[in-house]
Amino acid sequence: MSGSRFTLGTRGSALATTQTGHVAAELNRLSGVEYDTVLVKTEGDVTSGPLSQLGGTGVFAAALRQALYEGTCDMAVHSLKDLPTTQPEGLVIAATPVRADVRDALCSRDGLFLAELPEGASVGTGSPRRAAQLLAFRPDLRIVDIRGNVGTRLGRVKGSPVQKDDGGVGRTAQGDLDAVVLAAAGLERLGLESHITEYLDPDIMLPAPGQGSLAVEVRTGGSGHSAVDAALETMDDTDTRLAITAERALLARLEAGCAAPVGALALVQGDELVLDSVACKPDGSDTMRRSARTSTLTIDGAWALGVTLAEQLLAEGAAELAGL
Ligand SMILES: NCc1[nH]cc(CCC(=O)O)c1CC(=O)O
């Protein structure tokens, strides 16, 4: 689209609008071009069944991508981990900004660490990946399938702080869980990091491929503004791009979606890209952790790293283990 403004599509959740707002402000700072945001309702926001049973990947992204493709907006900001690994024809990821904290975060009552939760404690998550890794570390935990936006999930924790009508903050007795697990990045972007009682070490909990990373998507050919396209190029972070490429290649080669009990984390360490991965039996009774590294620091090299590690996992029975 030409003209002096660009339009950014976003989902309506607090997390989505916050993320989009940050990206918009940064693009405006870098390019001087003004922007508008367009709210797009997605299937993932209106369906109420448990996330793990929604089936298909990309329920959050599909409507937003449709809006972008049709020209309702010039750009879309996604949480990368919610994007299916196949890139739709006609759209490209123009920027992956510097990644935020990749870790999962425990938000528990009374500031308890994961290891300190009482025997049989209830932990809420809708993610089979989180559930399996929690159970691998603590087989006694009772995993409760929850969904909803970040605020709703935090509210499930016993004694979690609530905003009172008079503007003060009180404690709720409404909570029914001892803890929930959420992405640290989302909590931090929403200014809710005070709820975090433990950043879960990737040795215990490998994050979802792409976790903590944003993807700014445009139509093939660009945003329609050369200044905005240049800003997107500036915003793109090479190390983030390499890492998420390897993680997503692994997921793609496993033919696993975001609901699979599979974790992956890649990091540029010196002149190497290191990829750690885990495939779990959903009940956490068995896990397969494998790592690989490459010194070919290109997008093709990163993709090949993910594929190679996925093939090793598959050769060792990961598909049967994780029910892929
Ligand atoms: N599936 C929902 C979703 N998509 C992205 C984030 C958090 C932000 C991120 O990982 O970049 C979340 C919430 C969560 O998992 O706690």
Q: What is the pLDDT of residue 202?
A: 98
Structural domains counted in the chain: 3
ipTM exceeds 0.90, yes or no: yes
User: From the candidates 129, 189, 219, 248, which is the catalytic residue?
Assistant: 129
Helix, strand, or coil (residue 47): coil
What residues in the chain have per-residue pLDDT under 50? Answer: 1-2, 47-56
Q: Could you tell me the distance, in angstroms and rounded to a whole number, from the CA of residue 149 to the centre of ligand 1?
A: 9
Compute the distance between CA of residue 143 and CA of residue 183 in angstroms, rounded to an integer. Answer: 17
Ligand 1: which residues within 6 Å by Cβ?
79, 81-82, 182-183, 185-186, 211-212
104 forms beta bridges with: 183
Angle at 190 between CA 186 and CA 191, to 5 degrees: 115
Give yes or no: residues 58 and 141 share one domain.
no
Give yes or no: residues 73 and 149 share one domain.
no
Q: Cα separations (Å) of 203 from 127, 263, 296?
A: 18, 11, 25
Give yes or no: residues 231 and 253 share one domain.
no
Helix, strand, or coil (residue 100): coil
pTM: 0.91
Give yes or no: residues 145 and 161 share one domain.
yes
**Cβ(211)–Cβ(200) under 8 Å?**
no
Q: Which domain holds residue 112?
A: 104-199
Residue 75 lies in a domain: yes
Give yes or no: residues 249 and 232 share one domain.
no
Q: What is the pLDDT of residue 5?
A: 87
The reply to whether 281 belongs to the active site is: no
Residue 204 lies in a domain: no
The reply to whether 153 belongs to the active site is: yes
